[in-house]
Amino acid sequence: MTAEAALRSPREIRRARYLGITYLVLSGFVLWFFGIGSWGEGIADFGMARPTDTFDWIPSLPVPAAAFAIGVAVVFAFMGGVQLVRGFGRWQNRILAIAFILFIFAFLGWAAAGQSFNLVGMLRTAVERSTPITFGALAGLLGERVAVINIAIEGQLLAGAFAGALVASITSNAWPGVVAAVLVGLFFGWVLAVLAIRYRVDQIIIGVVINIFVLGLTSFLTARILAPNPHLNRGIKLNSWRIPGLGDIPVIGPIFFDQTIFVYASLILVAVLAYTLFHTRWGLQARAVGEHPRAADTVGINVYRYRYLNVLLGGAVAGFGGAYFTIGTVGRFDENMTTGRGFIALAAMIFGRWHPVGALSAALIFGFADALAGKLGILQTGIPSEFLLMAPYIATLVVVTGIVGKARPPAADGQVYVKE
C-alpha cells in the first residue's frame, strides 16, 4: 500500500472501490451492447462542418463503431483495475470526466453506425441548450454563497421569458425586452430577499411559492392577454452573431463564436464570477458571510447588505437567462416554456460544487444530454428520447451519493441570521 493510499479516509476508500466497480461494469456494458452486439453494423460518419460554415471543405470523420466501442471497453477495464488496486489520486475526477466522454462517444458511434451525423451542429446546439441552465446555476450560486437558498430560479426564468417576449413585442425591439426580463428577475429576487432576510420566512417555502405564483400568473396572462392579441407575442428575437475571425475557426468557431449574445454573456459572466468570488475582497467577504456570518459580522462585514446584494444580483441573472427562451430562441412566449430548467440549474450548481466554472461544466453536460435527446429521433435508434431527458436528475443522484466526490455547500446555507 502506498503512503497516499494509507492516508485516505474510509469514505475515500469506499468511493475509490465503487468507482473501480463502476468502470468494470461500464466496460462490460460497452463491450456487449456497443461493441460485440453491434459488430458489422457499419461506420459512423461524423460531420465536422455545417453546410453554412466557411470551412465546409473539412472531411467528415469516419469511425468504425464496433471497433471503437471495443477499444473503449478495454480502456474502462484498465481504469477499473487501476482504480481498485491503487487509485488515481488527484487525477480521480479528471479520469472520471474522461470516462464520461469516452462513454458518450461510444454511444454516439453505436447510434450513428451506418449513418451520417453532424457532430459540430449537435455540439453547437448543446452549448445553446446549456445557456439558460448556466444562468440559473449562477443565480443560485450567488445566493447560496451568502447562505440564501434560491429555489425560485424556475419562477425567475419563466417571469423573465414572459416579460421579455411581451415588452419586445410592444416596442418592436428585442433589447427593451431584455431589460424588462432583467428587471422582472430583479423584482422576484427582491421578494425572495425581503421575505428570507428581513422577515425570516423559510427560504424553501418562499422559493416554492414564487415558482407556483409565476407559473399561475404567466399562464393566466397568456390565456387572457397574449392569446387574444397575437401582436403582443410576435416572435421578435436576437439573431446569432458570428465573431469575425473567431467564428471561422474550424470546428470550434461555430460552437462557441457563432452564437447569440446570451451565450457570450453566460461565458463572460462565468469568468467574471470565478475571478471576483475567489480573487477579490468582495468575493472573500461574500464567502465569509456564507460560511460563518457571525464571525463575518464581528470583523465589520455587513451580513445583511451582502445577502441582499447577492440575492438581487441572482434574480437579475435569472431574469436575463429567462429572456433566452423567448428573445434568444423562438421569440414568442409559450406557457411553462422553461419546463423545469430552473430545477436542473440547481442540480448543475450542486454538481459544479458551488463554483462558476463547475456550474458551467455541469450545464454543458445537461445541455449535451438535451441536444442528444433531440437527435435520437433522427438516428432512429429505438431508444425513447425521454430516457436521456432524465440524465440531469440521475446526475444529481450521483452527486448526492458522493460517487463524484463530496459536494459541500456553504456552512451556513439556508440558516437565518439575526444580528445581536
What tens digit of pLDDT does each residue of 166-225 get? 999 999 999 999 999 999 999 999 999 999 999 999 999 999 999 999 999 999 999 999
Q: Is the pLDDT of residue 253 over 80?
A: yes
Q: Is the pLDDT of residue 5 over 60?
A: no
pTM of the complete model: 0.91
What tens digit of pLDDT does each residue of 138-156 get? 999 999 999 999 999 999 9
Q: What is the CA radius of gyration of the chain?
A: 23
In a domain, 161, yes or no: yes
* pLDDT for the residue numbered 385: 65
State the cell numbers at 295. Answer: 464571525
In a domain, 407, yes or no: no
Task: Tell me how many domains the chain contains.
Answer: 2
Same domain, yes or no: 27 and 49: yes
Of the chain, the percentage scoring pLDDT greater than 70 comes to 90
Same domain, yes or no: 59 and 171: no
Same domain, yes or no: 107 and 140: no
End-to-end Cα separation, the chain, in angstroms: 52
Same domain, yes or no: 256 and 218: yes
Same domain, yes or no: 342 and 382: yes
Last residue of a domain, one of 114, 147, 166: 114
In a domain, 419, yes or no: no
Beta carbons of 368 and 126 less than 8 angstroms apart: yes
- CATH number for the domain spanning 265: value is 1.10.3470
Q: Is the pLDDT of residue 3 over 50?
A: no
State the cell numbers at 234. Answer: 410576435
β strands within 81-223, DSSP E: 116-118
335 burial level (CB within 10 Å; 0-12, 13-18, 19+)? middle
In a domain, 406, yes or no: no
State the cell numbers at 194. Answer: 425581503
* pLDDT for the residue numbered 372: 81
Same domain, yes or no: 211 and 356: yes
In a domain, 418, yes or no: no
Same domain, yes or no: 91 and 141: no
Place of cell 431584455: 178
Same domain, yes or no: 129 and 87: no
In a domain, 409, yes or no: no
Of the candidates 157, 184, 125, the residue with the CA atom closest to the CA atom of residue 321:
157
Region label for 69, one of left (φ > 0), alpha (ψ between -120 and 50) or beta (otherwise): alpha
Same domain, yes or no: 21 and 148: no
CA distance 30 to 208: 41
Last residue of a domain, one of 56, 87, 114: 114
Q: What is the 3-state secondary structure (H, E, C) of 217-244?
A: HHHHHHHHHHCCCHHHCCCCCCCCEECC
Last residue of a domain, one of 114, 135, 166: 114
Q: Which domain holds residue 255?
A: 124-401
* pLDDT for the residue numbered 87: 80
Same domain, yes or no: 98 and 163: no
In a domain, 11, yes or no: yes
Measured on CA atoms in the order 336, 338, 339, 343, is the torsion positive or negative?
negative
| Percent composition of the chain: helix, strand, coil (DSSP 3-state, to 5) | 70, 5, 25
Of the chain, the percentage scoring pLDDT greater than 90 comes to 60
